[in-house]
Structure 1
Amino acid sequence: MKPRLNIVTIGVKNLQVSRDFYKNALGWEPTKDSDENIVFFNHGGIILGLYPIDKLAEDAEISPARSGFSGVTCAINLDTKEAVQELYNTVIKNGGKPLVEPRETFWGGYDAYFADPDGNAWEIAWAPFWNFDEQGSLIME
């Protein structure tokens, strides 16, 4: 089977708060398939979904209780260090919780971390050796 990741869904406490955060802090527009029950953001072949955490847990037949780090982060990869700093500042101004201030990394790049309103950890990163296609998707072989 060909590797294929199509949708990443994040369980959220308040769908409207999270929708507004991702739209205002990151500038992502919900797709036309979004409604009052679920929100989708198109990322050039991968869809980010937001769905009420209690309903997501029920669907997966697991407990919605969360404690601490989930072991998962999502990353937004950008073209420049300055873009990392600029997006980080915008996110924090729009309600993101600072986790790691923008910094030089041990691997030769530049990154920062923030948490969304539900505590999900996001990295914003730049690396001099990364390339992107015309849709802005990271190319790795």
Structure 2
Amino acid sequence: MAQALSERTIALVKATVPALEAHGLDIVREMYSRMFQNPEIRDLFNQSHHGDTGSQPRALTGAILAYANNIDNLGALGAAVERIAQKHVGLQILPDHYPHVGNALLGAIGHVLGDAATEEIMNAWGEAYWFLANILI
């Protein structure tokens, strides 16, 4: 079982909700751009679901926003997390893939939010990412 998120991390992630509402899609697009530089990771994704008309960036943006909004009530996300885990198993997503995604996500948050992505915010999102990633793994 994953160690519980700290109260400070929960508060910091919840505090980023307005920034995610305003810039979440930009963060996700930047994240995918970073991930797709690695052919091993890029080949895991159906590219027709990406780009300007693709549904995946919007879907992931919504999932990240739901996670941030419910980080203090993760039980509300149980069914969604189960669906994601099943999809990841079907796509043969391996534990070795999660660091690539985490690095891309955190890099994208830092890039898009700039100075607003303080070290404390980045550490909180790193903790929150790995908490969820370990559940999915």
TM-score normalised over the length of structure 1? 0.34
Structure of higher CA gyration radius: 1
Bigger relative contact order (CA 8 A; separation at least 6)? 2
- Normalized per residue, the structure richer in helix is 2
- Normalized per residue, the structure richer in strand is 1
TM-score normalised over the length of structure 2? 0.35
